[in-house]
Amino acid sequence: MKRFFRGSLLIFLVIAVMIAAKPTLGIMSEQAKWTQFKNDHLTIHLLSEDTPPTMAVKSIVNEFTAKTGIKVEITQTRLEDVVAKTILDFSAKAGDIELIYTDPYQILSPFHGHLADMRKFMNDPALPKIPLGLNDFIKTDLIAGGYMIDKDRLLGIPYDCPTMIWIYRKDIFLKYKDKFMADRGYDWTPGSNLSWEQYYEIAKWINEHVPEVKAGTGHQALMYDSLQCDFSNVLAAYGGKYFANDQVNLWGSNLPGKCMLDQPQAIEATRFYKKLLSIAHPGSTSWDWNGLAEAFAAGDIAMAPEWHEFASTFEDPARSKVAGKVGYALLPHGANGSKNHWGGTNISINSYASEKKQKAAWLYILWATSPNVQKKLLLRGSTPTRYAVYNDRFVKQWIKFKVNPIMESLHTVTEAWKPENIFLRPKTPYWLDVNTVVFTNLSYMLAGKLSPEEAMRDATLKIDQITGYNKMKK
């Protein structure tokens, strides 16, 4: 009988401890959630492309360490190096890079199975919640950068949102406006009311009449991802597209359908692109987005399609000869309107990292993408990905009065994000190979080795083989 009572008492005590422990998580203070790893001496690693948002967050990351006790080592490098290092970590299942700048096309699409599902952190009562919830993030950024096919599996939180727009020298366009109008009969002030053909005409006119610059236009036409990005603005404006399945552009798809680069709209766009590059700065075929930005900042070109976040470089007198002289507008239109290439990226967690470090990484993501931090980073040249920041009364004033360089471009960028103006490239596991075919054939075309028709028809055949469309058709 004594043994029975002792056993019963022991069971009772175990149950009591369990009951007592369970609600403790529920009443865990917010401060305790943020400081739970303070004495664990944790260091986590963020691998990112060298972008203005990462430069900005690096300048204040010590605030996160002070808040949580967690150190963050940030590595900034070229996008191709981010992709290569991420692939190596995934292949070895090392988990050494806890936080990844997850390019939607080169990392998320082909390697989404290696990323942690954000829902497990969102549903963990021992971790803080997302301030204002997921609905506060710009919808396009959230979906295009955070999901791959599965609409229930969130793989990243919006981190940056670079978008290609028309950058130009305001001083040159103002100085020569009347002379150009007298010659050509229309106002050349940049904007989506002008066509790509007019953009070409303007660039050619500047080549012939404006000694202040070496060329009217410049492009990121290096045989690399940048060439595909530059070309895509024209392709989409002319009504062309990469694949038949439109679902591939937002949520992503394993079945993108037939490649559409051999269609009339795509062929027409390619012909025009070759013509445009024939009068562009000769350095264009050796520039990616960084090279183009350096040339523009040096005062070598009058205008270009470029990622808007370089505004922080263009408006910095220490790094730019054109500070205070730069204008921003939507890209020119084609038959399908103005299409401005979105290149946003979310930040993700490596599923091979330890559970403790994954949770520490989640704390970093919450902090770095929170409204308060995004508002602070805006003043350092980063573009917010949250509605709450744009709706903030102080931010509205900052944008209105353009209190820092990035503000100069935000009016245009928010217009570029509207559904009728934005372009999203395909999100498919095959994109790395597809992208290589596209920029390789375009590069051969620009070098005179292929005609526009040959370049696109050859690309279509190769891409249909890559995706398996030819086999499915049979």
Q: Which residues of 360-389 are buried (b: 16+ CB within 10 A; e: fewer)?
A: bbbbbbbbbbbbebbbbbbebbbbbbbebb
Percentage of the chain modeled with pLDDT above 90: 88
Identify the pLDDT of residue 24.
44
User: Looking at the predicted structure, is the pLDDT value of residue 460 above 80?
Assistant: yes
Say which DSSP state 128 is in: P
Identify the pLDDT of residue 406.
77
Helix (H) or strand (E) holding 157: strand 157-160
Other residues' Cβ atoms within 10 Å of the Cβ of residue 126: 13
Other residues' Cβ atoms within 10 Å of the Cβ of residue 318: 6
Identify the pLDDT of residue 407.
86
What span, in angstroms and rounded, lies between the C-alpha atoms of 173 and 169? 6
User: Looking at the predicted structure, is the pLDDT value of residue 1 above 50?
Assistant: no
User: Looking at the predicted structure, is the pLDDT value of residue 295 above 80?
Assistant: yes
pLDDT 10s digits, 104-126: 999 999 999 999 999 999 999 99
User: Looking at the predicted structure, is the pLDDT value of residue 381 above 50?
Assistant: yes
What span, in angstroms and rounded, lies between the C-alpha atoms of 139 and 424? 13
User: Looking at the predicted structure, is the pLDDT value of residue 8 above 90?
Assistant: no
What span, in angstroms and rounded, lies between the C-alpha atoms of 230 and 363? 36
Average pLDDT on 24-42 reads 87
Identify the pLDDT of residue 52.
84
Angle between helices 177-184 and 196-209 (to 10 degrees): 120
Q: Answer whether 331's CB lies under 8 Å from 191's CB.
A: no
Residue 24: exposure state from Cβ atoms within 10 A (0-12, 13-18, ≥19): exposed
What is the per-residue DSSP string for 67-124?
Answer: HHS-EEEEEEE-HHHHHHHHHHHHHHT-----EEEE-IIIIIHHHGGGBPPTHHHHT-
Cα separations (Å) of 26 from 21, 22, 123? Answer: 10, 7, 12
Q: What's the pLDDT band for 459 if we cut at 50, 70, 90?
A: very high
pLDDT 10s digits, 269-288: 999 999 999 999 999 999 99
Which residue type does 296 have?
F
Identify the pLDDT of residue 19.
40
pLDDT 10s digits, 164-203: 999 999 999 999 999 999 999 999 999 999 999 999 999 9
Residue partners of 281: CB distance under 8 A and separation at least 6? 214, 215, 217, 218, 219, 295, 300, 301
Domain annotation for the chain: domains and CATH numbers: 30-161+343-391 (3.40.190.10), 164-341+421-473 (3.40.190.10)
Largest CA distance in the chain: 110
What span, in angstroms and rounded, lies between the C-alpha atoms of 198 and 165? 16
What does pTM read for this prediction? 0.91
Q: Answer whether 108's CB lies under 8 Å from 148's CB.
A: yes
Q: Answer whether 291's CB lies under 8 Å from 280's CB.
A: no
Q: Answer whether 191's CB lies under 8 Å from 256's CB.
A: no
